[in-house]
Amino acid sequence: MDPRLSGGYLTVDLTAIQKNYQILKAEVESSECAAVIKADAYGLGASEVGNALYRADCRKFFVALPEEGISLRKSLPIDAEIFILGGLFIDCEDLYIKERLTPVLNSLDEIRIWSELAHDHGPLPALIHLETGICRLGLMAEDIEELKANPHWLDGIEVQYLMSHLASADIPASEQNAEQLDELHKLIANLPEGLQHLPVSFANSSGIFLGKEYHFNLVRPGVALFGANPTPGKANPMNPVVQWQGKILQLHNVDSQKPVGYGATYRTGQKSRIATVAIGYADGYFRNLGNKAYCTINNKRVPVVGRVSMDMITVDVTSLEEEDCKRGDLVTLVGDDITLDEVAKQAGTIAYEILTSIGRRCYRRYLTDGV
């Protein structure tokens, strides 16, 4: 991709991701820290991000799909462990073995199929997922009863971790956190004898900040690595990672009140200047940010005015000096003092969705200090 041909840039600071990994590691002390880099590392590039984290000594990586695991396997050194959160997908079980992907076994069916494969291929590694209150994936209490009655279903499976997932970790005051922790302890105590003392993985980014009792043996942060605040309501302990910018295509000086954009939802003042920027909702800039969000040009805040179009936004730059805002200049949509969390809030969503929506039309560049 040629940056001159694209409407915008997504700059990913790999050094900041490495620093964030160190911050999270320090937070959990004795527990090991994995990295969740599903959905192409939340849109930032799984290969680049995975390798930067590998250089920061991360060896355990979680993705959602076997497809993501296979592609990551090609780009990471051979001793990286790759876990598939989505479980054992149908009709491709042998690919997990061939590509050395470790499934998170979410059901008794998956456990039985993996065990059968182990019969032919020798011991196979896996995680076992226990469902404690999010009702998505994992064994429930009655599955555990069945497993206890049929412990041979586990034959040949080397269970590395038991895991579960928090539903409300980003709401520290939610009672659900302690309830899920309690349920996890109960389910573990009820497992077949051989599984009761295995290492456990529970906390995502926000879970890490709920306290030591949530850390267990392996934590699984995702979004905090990429700069979003895992402690809503408190100062963000993470370093910013992304800068998202669009190019100014044209500037319009108007000397009377003029409607701007589809539906004429904004009217300029008498003497105004409007910049048209080559980023739109097709690039993941949410349509409902129109007339709400701000961006910066040369570190000065200016409002996004009128509706967001598919390929363009319009920005009222009347407050800027002409030489500070020219055709070809870059407008920062996320970065400088505009945080991911601020834009997410204005868009009525969360930082995760902003990150994963940033379009592939934006040219991606990576900053690293060489480590």
Ligand X SMILES: *Cc1c(COP(=O)(O)O)cnc(C)c1O
Number of Cβ within 10 Å of residue 98's Cβ equals 10
Question: Across-strand partners of 101?
Answer: 82
Q: Catalytic residue positions?
A: 38, 262
Does residue 238 touch ligand X according to CB under 6 A? Answer: no
Is residue 313 within 8 A of residue 246, CB to CB? The reply is: yes
From 31, 205, 243, 245, residue interacting with ligand X (rule: CB under 6 A) = 205
Gap between the Cα atoms of 18 and 33, Å rounded:
12
From 177, 204, 276, 332, residue interacting with ligand X (rule: CB under 6 A) = 204
The span of 215-223, 241-249, 266-274, 337-345 binding ligand X (CB under 6 A) equals 215-223
- The structure tokens 């355990």 sit at 60
The span of 9-17, 178-186, 217-225, 288-296 binding ligand X (CB under 6 A) equals 217-225
**Considering beta carbons, is residue 38 or 112 the nearer one to ligand X?**
38
Does residue 53 touch ligand X according to CB under 6 A? Answer: no
**Considering beta carbons, is residue 220 or 247 the nearer one to ligand X?**
220
Gap between the Cα atoms of 314 and 60, Å rounded:
43
Measure CA 58 to chain center: 16
Does residue 84 touch ligand X according to CB under 6 A? Answer: no
Q: How far is the CB of 295 from ligand X (least distance, A)?
A: 25
**Considering beta carbons, is residue 232 or 359 the nearer one to ligand X?**
232
Q: How far is the CB of 52 from ligand X (least distance, A)?
A: 17
HSE-CB at 141 with a 13 A cutoff on CA atoms is 8
From 10, 33, 36, 242, residue interacting with ligand X (rule: CB under 6 A) = 36
Does residue 222 touch ligand X according to CB under 6 A? Answer: yes
Does residue 165 touch ligand X according to CB under 6 A? Answer: yes
Q: How far is the CB of 199 from ligand X (least distance, A)?
A: 15
From 66, 221, 227, 261, residue interacting with ligand X (rule: CB under 6 A) = 221
Q: How far is the CB of 49 from ligand X (least distance, A)?
A: 13
Does residue 200 touch ligand X according to CB under 6 A? Answer: no
Does residue 60 touch ligand X according to CB under 6 A? Answer: no
What is the DSSP annotation of 194-242? GGTTS-EE---HHHHTT-GGGT-SEE---GGGGT--SSTTS---SPP-E
Describe the crossing of helices 141-149 and 108-121 by its angle, rounded to 10 degrees: 40
Gap between the Cα atoms of 310 and 308, Å rounded:
7
Instruction: Tell me the CA distances in angstroms from 237 to 22, 33, 59, 234, one per residue in order.
Output: 12, 17, 23, 9
The span of 44-52, 92-100, 185-193, 214-222 binding ligand X (CB under 6 A) equals 214-222
Number of Cβ within 10 Å of residue 11's Cβ equals 18
**Considering beta carbons, is residue 205 or 309 the nearer one to ligand X?**
205
The span of 152-160, 216-224, 299-307, 310-318 binding ligand X (CB under 6 A) equals 216-224
In terms of Cβ atoms closer than 10 Å to its own Cβ (0-12, 13-18, 19+), residue 363 is middle
CA quadruple 99, 35, 348, 245: dihedral positive or negative? negative
- Residue count at the site for ligand X (CB under 6 A)? 11
Number of Cβ within 10 Å of residue 184's Cβ equals 22
From 85, 101, 293, 304, residue interacting with ligand X (rule: CB under 6 A) = 85
* Dihedral-angle region of residue 18 (phi above 0 means left; psi in -120 to 50 means alpha; beta otherwise): alpha
Does residue 34 touch ligand X according to CB under 6 A? Answer: no
**Considering beta carbons, is residue 220 or 307 the nearer one to ligand X?**
220
Is residue 50 within 8 A of residue 87, CB to CB? The reply is: no
Q: How far is the CB of 223 from ligand X (least distance, A)?
A: 4
Residues that bind ligand X (CB under 6 A): 36, 38, 85, 165, 204-205, 220-224
